[in-house]
Structure 1
Amino acid sequence: MSKSIQTENAVIEAIKNRRTVKKFKKDAVPTDKIIELLDAAVWAPNHKLREPWRFLLFTGDGRNKLAQAIDAEMGEDNKFSANIKQVPAVMLVVLEEDPRQNIWDEDFAAVSALVQNFLLAAWSEEIGTFWVTKPFLYAPKFRKPLGIEAGEKIIGMIYMGYPDVIPSAKERTPAKDKLTLFE
């Protein structure tokens, strides 16, 4: 078997085996490891190498800053900020928005590809992830204390840590059921 086919199978297996993890052990994920994973993720395809992304990483006591921003929008009695303090690391992925719709679409796709790269890279290092979006991500009271400006969109929060529970796979609709073929 050729090396390229073996590599292709490894990639396909990684894609199929990755799981969304919502329960993490308390062990910290080293910041250097997260940066290493980001360095792999930035190889996502992005038109004209615009690299329209930036990241805010919250670990250790830094998670309190994120929890305070959530509290500013949601009030102090909410499940989200309490949960943030239990997750070993949380990263916001931010898109630098372009006012031209076609560029915005390309950049949004690029940042989404970057997130998928990160999730797969993390999984390859036995780090579980959970890509989540919440309504408070749009709120000025949440965004301002974190330095997220007008013209920036939070693509999502990525919770990460070493899995305590790995969920089983859920069935997917075969692609052929959604394929229109022109021959």
Structure 2
Amino acid sequence: RLTEPWQFFVLGETSKRRFAEIRRDFRAATMPNPKAPEVQPALAKIVEDTIHTPAIIIVTAQGHDDPELREENYWAAFGAVYAFMLGAWSLGIGTYFRTGAFRDHPPLREFLGLAADRRIIGSLYAGYPATVPQKRRTPASEKTVWLD
């Protein structure tokens, strides 16, 4: 099947600012006292980091009444994100994909003008890295099971 269920929302400068405010408000709502002076720097950092990210792309998947097709669409959209990330890295562009509860936040859906049958799968952040951090990865042999 060739369903191409993904849709990419690429944020411009004005949209990034609004997205940053929505992220900040979402995070503030999870805090016991979001008005406390000691949390203001963290909330301001969310906005600053977001608006200074060179590219932000919100990725959605088409829903479906059939649970099997809905799941297939969801994972196909993840595959599109992964392909994008690999392609970006081949050009020296770093990416970071964020998922989590924020993707179900009603103000985010409203901001994007999403139809009820679209599902946000995550936010993709991209830009040229100042440095490339070296992370220790678990060896593939510890993550692979060979069955005979």
What TM-score does the superposition give when structure 2 sets the normalisation length?
A: 0.78
Shift of residue 175, structure 1, vs aligned partner: 4.8
Structure 2's unaligned 5+ residue stretches are: 29-33, 35-39
Q: Please name the residue that 1:58 is paired with.
A: 11
Q: Please name the residue that 1:170 is paired with.
A: 136
Shift of residue 104, structure 1, vs aligned partner: 1.6
Structure 1's unaligned 5+ residue stretches are: 1-47
What TM-score does the superposition give when structure 1 sets the normalisation length?
A: 0.65
Q: 1:170 to 1:49 in 2, by over 3 A?
A: same
Whether 1:81 aligns to 2:47 is yes
Figure out how many residues of one structure are paired with residues of the other and give that number. Answer: 135
Q: Deviations over 1:95-124 (max 9, x none)?
A: 111121111221122111111100010011
Amino acid corresponding to residue 128 of structure 2 in structure 1: Y
Q: Distance in 2 between matches of 1:141 and 1:177?
A: 38
Q: 1:101 to 1:175 in 2, by over 3 A?
A: farther
Whether 1:135 aligns to 2:88 is no
Q: Distance in 1 between matches of 2:141 and 2:98?
A: 24
Amino acid corresponding to residue 56 of structure 1 in structure 2: F
Q: 1:158 to 1:126 in 2, by over 3 A?
A: same
Q: Distance in 1 between matches of 2:93 and 2:102?
A: 26
Instruction: Give matches, 1:2-151, under 5 Å.
Output: 48-71=1-24, 73-74=26-27, 78=43, 79-151=45-117
Q: Distance in 2 between matches of 1:177 and 1:58?
A: 36
1:93–1:156 contact (8 Å) kept in structure 2: yes
Q: Please name the residue that 1:42 is paired with.
A: none
* Identity %, equivalent residues: 27
